[in-house]
Structure 1
């Protein structure tokens, strides 16, 4: 009789493990499309990402579709920018990083999807106008909310390359009504 109780416990453990892996698998497995979303809900597809599950999360490969971006030469640097009410320039994280995420921590992906915004009439690049998408898993989607960040903080490598340098203390809330692409969706 004790073996039946033990068998039931094992079955319950496997069921709970299966349920937790299912929510993990929905958002962080396979090829997904990356869209930035404007204030009116219009999506601009900017690339795709492929997630490869591992024991502690997923490794990912990111592809930005630069065909949708225009070339700009700002502050002595070539940049790829989306054109709209503002220029929205992609600035990939410039230092080595693991390209890994988990349900609870999408920081490295946020670092790979950094942007800088500027008004078309403004001169040069203003790296203090950085955009960091704070991301969270939402069922089978990943949703990101734009936050302000000073990208000048990345002018030199962080002391510890294993820790994402743009943490909560470095980011501020923004007025989403004033920014062109305040949201991100990965599906």
Structure 2
């Protein structure tokens, strides 16, 4: 199937899911209220833009660099922007680029610095009109070296470890149509 046809098909499928392409990304704690963290706009040919909200994040300077973190006492969950090229394109079957826009690190709130081995990767899948994700543990030191040319997704299934609900501040996420909040 040529790229144009695939793009039109993806746009048709995703626009039905996203009600004009506007979606809301919400992190779900094990207990407590869902936390809206980002707005997602799906555009033509499956291209998307994700914009993180300022609130509820708090700025923290950890390990000599700035992070935007969510308080989940006694822990913080901090967004880790993917430092390499990302096409920011999704299809009905492939949400991988979006997974790389949802990278986080977790730390104890009272600890100094941040450990990149304590990463969170949300494995995404579709459930009807919603995208859902389960947090997986991953050593983000994988990202210390630039991936080989053409390898835009260096984190593989073998790098991920399933987590229980109590092992991470936000074990799940949901991406829903903006009106559905």
- TM-score of the pair, normalised by structure 1: 0.82
> Which of these residues, 29, 50, 57, is aligned with residue 69 of structure 1?
57
**Is 1:34–1:45's contact at 8 Å kept on the other side of the alignment?**
yes
User: Which ranges of structure 1 fall in alignment gaps of 5 or more residues?
Assistant: 1-19
Equivalence for 1:82 = 70
Q: 2:17 aligns with which of 11, 22, 27?
A: 27
Change (3 A) 1:143 1:171: same
Aligned residues: 166
Contact 1:116 1:131 in 2 (8 A): yes
* Aligned equivalent of 1:12: none
Identify unmatched segments of 5+ residues in structure 2.
1-9, 177-181
Secondary structure of residue in 1 paired with 2:169: coil
Instruction: Report the Cα offset of residue 67 of structure 1.
Output: 3.0
Task: Give me the whole-angstrom Cα distance separating, in 1, the residues matched to 2:38 and 2:139.
Answer: 24
Query: What secondary structure sits across from 2:55 in the alignment?
Result: helix
Q: Please say if residues 97 and 162 of structure 1, whose CA atoms lie closer than 8 Å, have aligned partners that are also in contact.
A: no
Note the C-alpha offset of 1:52: 1.5
What is the alpha-carbon distance in structure 2 between the residues aligned to residue 163 and residue 84 of structure 1?
Answer: 31
Rg larger for: 1
The DSSP-based 3-state class of the residue aligned with 1:166 is coil
Cα distance in 2, alignment partners of residues 48 and 65 from structure 1: 7
For the 8 Å contact 1:88–1:116, the answer to whether it is kept is: yes
Q: After TM superposition, give the deviation of residue 24 of structure 1 in Å.
A: 4.3
- Greater share of helix residues, 1 or 2? 1
CA distance 1:73–1:21, change in 2 (3 Å): closer
1:66 deviates by: 2.3
Aligned to 1:42: 33
TM-score using structure 2 length: 0.84
SS in 1 for 2:158: helix
Q: 1:147 touches 1:173 (CA, 8 Å); kept in 2? A: yes
Cross-structure match for 2:148:
159
CA distance in 2, matches of 1:165, 1:77: 22
